Amino acid sequence: MRHRARPSRRGRDSAIEKRLIRVAQGSAKSARRRLYLVLIMKHYLVTKKLLCVCRSKMALTQVSSNKCAGGFQKVFEHDSTELKCKMKFAVYLPPKAETDKCPVMYWLSGLTCTEQNFITKAGSQLAAAEHGIIVVAPDTSPRGCNIEGEDESWDFGAGAGFYVDATQDPWKSNYRMYSYITEELPKLIIANFPTNPDRMSICGHSMGGHGALICALKNPGKYKAVSAFAPICNPIQCPWGQKAFSGYLGPDKSTWEPYDATVLAASYSGPQLDILIDQGRDDQFLSAGQLLPDNLISTCSEKKIPVVFRLQPGYDHSYFFIYSFMNDHIKHHAKYLNA
């Protein structure tokens, strides 16, 4: 073996590469051996790249931690590759997480919310602790992206990501909440917390309810349970949805359909779902035609998708309503997550 001074990392890699190429091209006795060596080189390079990416992007910074219901309510911050900005999310770790892997329930919040509303107002921690479920509550949109107009409305832009992957400028670079929720965030959670990777469920309120429904319908079998509080069931047909989709996805309505729960339900095929929906009867947005649950119900009735929809008299759209039935939803999720 020739002895030489240790080159720089890059230099060393390319030396190895050169060696491999030489061997592959030159003195290999058979074509098969050459093929193997080429494959090895390819895999080596790819893995190296991935490792670099993973290492830098899996880093989490803890922002806060409070002991709650025997477990811990924490908030973390990280650099998101999908959203290209710093994102915060809340994680509740039940007592069971100290010793065992736990299933994960993702909670998607509604318009104007951050990761704080759910953890301070919804009263989920006791039931999550009792059933041993990790609850992850991300923010509702990318933040601080310096996009013009992102802070103009409360129902579009910041705090109103609508859980879609935007295709229109100036949103398409940052506003990719659908991919963030379904791809990046789960990988981050699995890598950093004691989770059962194949036991996750999804739940949300209002715009988050819409997000939960579309994530479940677009990813058959990925979520073991789904439920929603006062969801936007048919965004194509309501003012909120129309404003958001035209801004994020453009004027062509066919690009909106893949993000509409009612439309997705009509063509759903996959493992059987069991959807629980609670809706306050005195919800102002229900009467304003923003939520349209009847459309979803009739489609699900036609397509035989099991839904139990409960109209709760006297309840409105607020977190007081969520708090009142959060226990029922967590029990519904626990039935499937702990089965």
Contacts to another protein by CB under 8 A: 126, 130, 272, 274, 281, 297, 300-301, 304-313, 325, 327-328, 331-332, 334-335, 338-339
Q: Which of 124, 201, 206, 227 is catalytic?
A: 206
Tell me the closest approach of the beta carbon of residue 307 to another protein, in angstroms.
4
**b vs e for 40-61, b when ≥16 Cβ sit within 10 Å of the residue's Cβ?**
ebeeeeeeeeeeeeeeeeeebe
Tell me the closest approach of the beta carbon of residue 114 to another protein, in angstroms.
28
282 is catalytic: no
Measure the CA–CA gap between 318 and 316, rounded to whole angstroms: 6
3 is catalytic: no
Minimum CB distance to another protein smaller for 83 or for 330? 330
CB 14: neighbour CB atoms within 10 A?
A: 12
Q: What angle do CA 124, 128, 129 make, to 5 degrees?
A: 120
Tell me the closest approach of the beta carbon of residue 248 to another protein, in angstroms.
30
Q: Are 313 and 282 in contact (CB under 8 A)?
A: yes
283 is catalytic: yes
SS3 sequence, 46-89? Answer: HHHHHHHHHHHHCCCEEEEEEEECCEEEEEEEEEECCCCEEEEE
Measure the CA–CA gap between 148 and 125, rounded to whole angstroms: 37
Using N-to-C axis directions, what is the helix angle for 9-25 and 31-57, rounded to 10°?
A: 160
Q: Which of 283, 329, 332, 333 is catalytic?
A: 283
Minimum CB distance to another protein smaller for 86 or for 310? 310
Query: First vs last Cα of the chain: how many Å apart?
Result: 59
Minimum CB distance to another protein smaller for 87 or for 214? 214
Tell me the closest approach of the beta carbon of residue 338 to another protein, in angstroms.
8
Q: Which of 317, 329, 332, 333 is catalytic?
A: 317
How is 247-277 classified by DSSP, letter by letter? HHH-S-GGGTGGG-HHHHHHT--SSPP-EEE
Three-state DSSP state, 310: strand
Tell me the closest approach of the beta carbon of residue 51 to another protein, in angstroms.
42
Minimum CB distance to another protein smaller for 44 or for 309? 309
Three-state DSSP state, 140: coil
Tell me the closest approach of the beta carbon of residue 64 to another protein, in angstroms.
24
Q: Are 69 and 119 in contact (CB under 8 A)?
A: no
Tell me the closest approach of the beta carbon of residue 311 to another protein, in angstroms.
4
| N residues, the chain | 339
Measured CA to CA in angstroms, residue 129 lies from 126, 143, 199, 305 at distances of: 5, 30, 16, 30
Tokens of 290: 């923003």
Residues labelled catalytic: 206, 283, 317
